[in-house]
Amino acid sequence: MKTDRRPLVLISPALLWLFGLMVVPCLLILVVAFFRRGVYGGIEYTWTLENIALVFDPLYFGIFMKSAAIAGLAAGIACVLGYAAAYAIASMPRRHQPMLLFFAVLPFWSNYLVRSYAWIVLLNREGLIANLARWIGFDGELPKMLYTEPAVVIGLIYNYLPFVILSCYAPLSRLNPEIAEASRDLGASAWTTFRRITLPRTVVGIATGFVFVFVLSIGNFVTPALLGGGQFQMIGNLVYAQFLTANDWPFGAALSMVLIIIMLGLLLLQAVITERASGGKAYTDG
Q: Which of residues 230-259 bind another protein (CB under 8 A)?
A: 236, 239-240, 243-244, 249, 252-253, 256, 259
- As a whole number of angstroms, the distance between CA 97 and CA 115 comes to 25
The span from the first CA to the last CA of the chain, in angstroms, equals 42
Q: How far is the CB of 123 from another protein (least distance, A)?
A: 10
Identity of the residue numbered 92:
M
Q: Which of residues 259-278 bind another protein (CB under 8 A)?
A: 259-260, 263, 267
Three-state DSSP class for residue 36: strand
Q: How far is the CB of 273 from another protein (least distance, A)?
A: 15
For residue 6, state whether it binds another protein (rule: CB under 8 A).
yes
Phi, psi of 127 (to 5 degrees): -85, -175
Three-state DSSP class for residue 186: coil
Residue 185 burial class via C-beta count within 10 angstroms: exposed 0-12, middle 13-18, buried 19 and up: exposed
Q: Which of residues 95-124 bind another protein (CB under 8 A)?
A: 95, 97, 100, 103-104, 106-107, 109-122, 124
Q: How far is the CB of 62 from another protein (least distance, A)?
A: 20
Cβ atoms of 129 and 122 closer than 8 Å: yes
Q: How far is the CB of 196 from another protein (least distance, A)?
A: 14
Q: Which of residues 127-166 bind another protein (CB under 8 A)?
A: 127-128, 131, 158, 161-162, 165
Q: How far is the CB of 144 from another protein (least distance, A)?
A: 17
Site size toward another protein, by CB under 8 A: 99
- As a whole number of angstroms, the distance between CA 23 and CA 10 comes to 20
